[in-house]
């Protein structure tokens, strides 16, 4: 499996997992900035649509202005993140219940608290 890195779009802030080679090729194309697939298509579109011959930088500025207008007219929503945290919560409860039956309730409860906080740290780093 190819090595991947997390890279953030300079336009919309979307994070994508990409190979270092792909990240480098995108940066080269957009004057050192990294754009996600959607934004790079949109920036290309700005270049094509423009009557005069605009640079990639100008096309990016136009696209970013467009994004700003779009962003202010729509409320921020992160349904995917909410779903993930809900699923994690559910998983933790499922993991927790069989252990609670064994041993005394007070010690296993505090023990599981430590266990879950270390588990969430692992999830963040991976
Ligand atoms: Zn983007």
pLDDT tens for 87-122 read 777 777 766 666 555 555 555 455 555 555 555 555
Which residues in the chain come in under a pLDDT of 50? 108
Distance from residue 29's CA to the centre of ligand 1 (Å): 15
Give the pLDDT of residue 68: 83
* Rg, C-alpha atoms of the chain: 22
Neighbours of ion ligand 1 (CB under 5 A): 9, 11-12, 14, 36, 39
Distance from residue 87's CA to the centre of ligand 1 (Å): 27
Give the pLDDT of residue 77: 58
Contacts of 38 (CB under 8 A, 6+ apart): 12, 14
Q: How does the average pLDDT of the chain come out, rounded?
A: 78
Give the pLDDT of residue 6: 96
Distance from residue 3's CA to the centre of ligand 1 (Å): 22
- Burial level of 43, CB count in 10 A (0-12/13-18/19+)? buried
């Amino acid at each position: 499996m190819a090595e991947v890195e997390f890279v953030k779009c300079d336009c919309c802030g979307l994070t994508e997992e990409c190979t270092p080679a792909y990240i480098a090729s995108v940066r080269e194309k957009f004057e050192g900035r990294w754009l996600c697939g959607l934004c790079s298509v949109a920036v290309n579109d700005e270049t094509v649509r423009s009557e005069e011959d605009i640079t990639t930088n100008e096309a990016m500025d136009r696209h970013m202005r467009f994004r700003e207008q779009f962003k202010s007219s729509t409320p921020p929503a992160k349904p995917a993140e909410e779903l993930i945290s809900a699923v994690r919560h559910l998983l933790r409860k499922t993991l927790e219940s069989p252990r609670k039956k064994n041993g005394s309730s007070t010690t296993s409860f505090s023990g599981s608290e430590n266990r879950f906080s270390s588990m969430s740290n692992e999830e963040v780093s991976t």
